[in-house]
């Protein structure tokens, strides 16, 4: 997937005008990019469209219209766009209760290192997490991690041919896996070249 440039973005005025329709399009698009793993974890797979929305929203909220500021936002979010041989996602540990979440984040230290995807017939691919900065300490992990799954050419080929794909977590305190449904699988296949 190509990275976003200034030419891919709407001006603040134009974005303000089309935002309701664009937002509805993104919400619909993201339905097939969310993978729930167990009761309290989810992967939100990113692509150029989800990152365009993120950049547009940041520009709108921060009222950024100068070229340098726009480039700064592009530089932050472009690394989250897959390059055709990988999947990139935002991984979230999800608890609605604050105390329960705090306890879980203390028990789930290292969870981002045992997060995986598996293309049927191949070994699991473990996430490369938080390349921008470390989000865990010895005492707790973060509720949000940015991850990348690097696939071999053979995995990409097999995925495109329709084999099943699983996602999971192999942590002593959280051991779950699931098979991607067809709609999600097809959406993620679109990220591969």
CA-to-CA distance for 44 and 42, rounded, in angstroms? 6
Residue 51 located in a structural domain: yes
pLDDT of residue 137: 75
Reported pTM: 0.92
Q: For 14-54, what is each residue's pLDDT tens digit?
A: 999 999 999 999 999 999 999 999 999 999 999 999 999 99
CA-to-CA distance for 1 and 15, rounded, in angstroms? 23
For residue 167, the 8-state DSSP code is E
pLDDT of residue 57: 97
Instruction: List, for the chain, all residue ranges whose pLDDT scores fall below the cut of 50.
Output: none
Residue 161 located in a structural domain: yes
Phi-psi region of 175 (alpha: psi -120 to 50; beta: other; left: phi over 0): beta
pLDDT of residue 135: 72
Task: Write down the H helix ranges in the chain.
Answer: 12-30, 48-62, 67-77, 98-107, 153-160, 182-189
Residue 36 located in a structural domain: yes
Count: domains in the chain:
1
Residue 135 located in a structural domain: yes
pLDDT of residue 35: 98
Please report, for the chain, how many H helices and E strands are present, in that order.
Answer: 6, 9
CA-to-CA distance for 66 and 46, rounded, in angstroms? 26
pLDDT of residue 133: 67
pLDDT of residue 37: 98
pLDDT of residue 1: 58
Residue 1 located in a structural domain: no
On the CB side of 96, how many CA atoms lie within 13 Å of its CA?
1
pLDDT of residue 174: 97
Residue 152 located in a structural domain: yes
Phi, psi (deg, nearest 5) at residue 41: -145, 150
Q: What is the domain range of residue 109? A: 6-189
């Amino acid at each position: 997937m190509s990275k976003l440039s200034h030419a891919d973005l709407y001006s603040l005025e134009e974005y303000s005008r089309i935002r309701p329709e664009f937002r509805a399009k993104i919400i619909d698009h993201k339905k097939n990019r969310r993978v729930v793993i167990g009761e309290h974890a989810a992967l939100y797979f990113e692509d150029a469209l989800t990152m365009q929305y993120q950049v547009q929203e940041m520009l709108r909220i921060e009222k950024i219209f100068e070229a340098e500021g726009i480039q700064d936002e592009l530089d932050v979010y472009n690394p989250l766009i897959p390059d055709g041989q990988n999947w990139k996602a935002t991984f979230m540990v999800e608890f609605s209760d604050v105390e329960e979440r705090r306890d879980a984040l203390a028990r789930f230290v290292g969870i981002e290192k045992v997060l995986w995807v598996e293309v049927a017939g191949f070994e699991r691919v473990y996430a490369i997490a938080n390349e921008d900065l470390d989000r865990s300490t010895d005492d707790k992990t973060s509720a949000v991690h940015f991850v990348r799954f690097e696939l071999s050419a053979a995995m990409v080929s097999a995925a495109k041919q329709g084999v099943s794909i699983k996602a999971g977590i192999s942590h002593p305190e959280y051991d779950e896996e699931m098979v991607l449904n067809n709609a999600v699988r097809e959406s993620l296949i679109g990220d591969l070249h």
